Amino acid sequence: MVLALTAKKKIGFVNGKISKPEEDSPLYEDWESCNTMVLSWLINSMHVNVSSSIMYCEMAREMWLELKRLFLQGNGPKIYNLQREISHITQNQMTVSEYYTKFKRLWDQLLHFEPLPKCSCGAMKVLNASHEKAYVMKFLMGLNENFETLRSQILMYDPFPSMSKVYSLVLQEESHKNIGHGGSTAS
């Protein structure tokens, strides 16, 4: 919903950046029309059991806040479950591409719930490098044993390679192994 509202330049109606003008303002009629449209989008995107409990909100912002109160839970359980999944994910029968996609989806979700701080100080560069290294390490941990030689080589790199570089190397190794054994990668 945030993506749709942002794309339609209506996110301000729910995040509080577009406030309700006075009724005698020349902007009031346009605001009312847009607010009603956003309310309609919100209601129509919900299950009837949810929308029936909040459909009498008169402002999109009010409805949005009510939805947050109803459904917002702490991020602790989500972060715990994502970290647990990341620590247990392994390639097994997946291709490198399938494994990477699944791993990256989990990592990106974790970053969404536990974002890196925003600052422009020098420490941020160190923190980003540490985060990228942890990202690569966790990915390498889940690869199958037939990548052990490459994994050992990658761990010796100085400076430590980026995830895109590691992913490229692992894909090349998978391709090389499949050619050497007469196999082909799944698409």
Task: Please tell me the predicted confidence (pLDDT) of residue 114.
Answer: 86
pLDDT of residue 181: 60
Give the phi and the psi of residue 133 in degrees, each rounded to 5.
Answer: -65, -40
pLDDT tens digit string along 49-62? Answer: 888 888 888 999 99
Structure tokens at 166: 């590691």
Q: pLDDT digit string (tens) for 151-183?
A: 999 999 999 999 999 999 999 999 988 876 655
Model confidence at 67, pLDDT cuts 50, 70, 90, reads: confident
Backbone phi, then psi, for 65, in 5-degree steps? -65, -40
| Opening angle at CA 139, ends 137 and 145, nearest 5 | 100
Give me the amino acid identity at 38: V
Structural tokens at position 61: 């912002």
CA distances from 8 to 15, 44, 57, 164 (A): 14, 16, 21, 33
Q: How far apart are CA 177 and CA 120, in angstroms?
A: 43
Task: Judge contact between 71 and 24, C-beta under 8 A.
Answer: no
Percent of the chain with pLDDT over 70: 95
What does 98-129 look like in DSSP terms, one character per residue?
HHHHHHHHHHHHHHHHSPPPP--SHHHHHHHH
Tens-digit pLDDT profile for residues 28-54:
999 999 999 999 999 888 888 888 888
For residue 183, what pLDDT is reported? Answer: 54
pTM: 0.62
**The tokens 């993506």 sit on which residue?**
3
pLDDT of 186 higher than 60: no
pLDDT at 134 over 90: yes
Please give the pLDDT value at position 47.
84
